[in-house]
């Protein structure tokens, strides 16, 4: 008999989600964006309300050029966390890439207003304004 306590199904599921998220994050950081999307999609299927998973999956999609999919993930994060500057920034960038410039401007402006110290936010906002 094992001395380890039995895990509940919820604990086992949580560990599986964490393992999928960790694997996807490692692949994302290693630059293997297509591969990163696979475990992150599985983690999202198990925990669709976890913003950390949705943000990581959005980043993977964005880096794969799947801008509409990325936008959907960042929209989900912004709905749950409207003060998340990075999610607004990424949503704005996703909208920009899909030609939704007006919406892109709005989210880039929100990101910049939340974090005026972020030079990258300012650069992308100005670049979008000049492209108009």
pLDDT digits (tens, 9 = 90+) for 10-29: 777 778 999 999 999 999 99
**38 part of a folded domain:** yes
What pLDDT, on the 0 to 100 scale, is given for residue 4?
59
Look up the domain containing 20 and give its range.
Answer: 8-65
**73 part of a folded domain:** no
Across the chain, mean pLDDT equals 93
Kindly indicate the confidence band of residue 86, based on its pLDDT and cuts at 50, 70 and 90: very high
**75 part of a folded domain:** no
Is the model's pLDDT at 75 over the cut of 60?
yes
Contacts of 13 (CB under 8 A, 6+ apart): 46
Kindly indicate the confidence band of residue 129, based on its pLDDT and cuts at 50, 70 and 90: confident
Residues 54 and 103 in one domain: no
**Are 91 and 73 in contact, with CB atoms under 8 Å apart?**
no
**100 part of a folded domain:** yes
- The span from the CA of 21 to the CA of 44, in Å, is 9
Task: Provide the domain count of the chain.
Answer: 2
| Per-residue pLDDT reduced to its tens digit, 45-61 | 999 999 999 999 999 99
**76 part of a folded domain:** no
Its pTM stands at 0.89
What pLDDT, on the 0 to 100 scale, is given for residue 14?
72
């Amino acid at each position: 008999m094992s001395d380890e306590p039995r895990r509940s199904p919820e604990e086992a599921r949580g560990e599986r989600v964490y393992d999928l998220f960790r694997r996807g994050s490692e692949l994302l950081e290693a630059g293997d964006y297509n591969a990163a999307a696979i475990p992150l999609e599985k983690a999202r299927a198990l925990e669709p309300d976890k913003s950390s998973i949705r943000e990581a999956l959005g980043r993977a999609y964005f880096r794969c050029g799947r801008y509409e999919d990325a936008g959907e993930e960042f929209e989900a994060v912004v709905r749950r966390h409207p003060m998340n500057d990075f999610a607004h920034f990424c949503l704005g960038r996703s909208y920009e890439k899909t030609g939704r410039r007006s919406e892109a401007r709005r989210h880039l402006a929100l990101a910049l207003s939340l974090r005026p110290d972020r030079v990258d936010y300012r650069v992308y906002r100005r670049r979008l304004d000049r492209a108009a």
